[in-house]
Amino acid sequence: MVTYCTVCRTGRVFEPKVNGQPENFRLVGMDHFNAMFEDLSTKTWWRQVNGEAVAGPLKGNALPEVESMQVTAGKFFWLYPFGSMMQADETAILNYDSLARYERGKSKGKFTRTDSLSWKEKSWVVGVEEGKASKAYDWLELKEKRIINDKIGSVPIVLLLSDDTISFSVFQRPSEADLFSIRNDSLFTDKSSYDFFGRNLTAESQPLRRITAYQEFWHSWRTFHPDTEIYK
């Protein structure tokens, strides 16, 4: 089950299962500008932003999340040339096309607009989670730098943005001493190189471990991560 909320710019992928069984869901409302879903069997309400059940008989449970990342179609097929993609519903193509300005941060709508300055309510951020820690990174700064070497708690990470200015990834660095640079959408250290998905290009060794990260509006990330750090 792919979930996406335009008023908070939050995308998640969850297994559509409740109590281990396949389930159907319907949209029932909003919670802090995030979508709320109800499963049809138990009538439990689930938050789109994190899969948490907040009302009903399964309150306190969570939907199993599937690892995902934000990439353009071009970047996806560059990395996976034999991959497949679900096509848009031709009967609703106008609805898809209407989101083009929103995806580029150009929407003027009251709920879907994007602030042009950093750290405003509707500014874009990349929110990163590692264990119980979280940290927010300014999207405009990432666009300028394209790569940020940092750490969350004691975990060294690297955040990188593709030259398409949409696709991004976050990985754990092998050590704090390993500082990455980016060139042609690949990562480089003095000793090794990796592609945009963290796969090692110089040796048959382990790929970089992916870190959970999402692009969201600042108000949405802050609401559900009240103790988040801010990268500055």
Look at residue 73 in the predicted model and tell me its pLDDT: 87
The CA–CA distances, whole Å, from 22 to 64, 67, 109, 159, 182 equal 12, 18, 36, 35, 41
Which residue stretches of the chain have pLDDT < 50?
A: 5, 7-8
Are residues 161 and 146 in contact, defined by beta-carbon separation less than 8 angstroms? Answer: yes
Q: Which amino acid type is present at position 150?
A: D
Q: Which two tokens stand for residue 145?
A: 């730098």
Per-domain residue ranges of the chain: 2-55, 124-230
Query: Which residues does 86 contact at the CB level (< 8 Å), separation at least 6?
Result: none
Q: Which two tokens stand for residue 214?
A: 């999402």
Buried b (16+ CB within 10 A) or exposed e, 102-131: beebebeeeebebbeeeeeebbbbbbbbbe
Reading phi first (left if > 0) and then psi (alpha if -120 to 50, else beta), residue 60 is in left
Look at residue 8 in the predicted model and tell me its pLDDT: 47
Class of the 124-230 domain?
mainly beta
Global pTM value: 0.81
Total length of the chain? 232
Secondary structure (DSSP) of 209-227: PB-EEEEEEHHHHHHH-TT
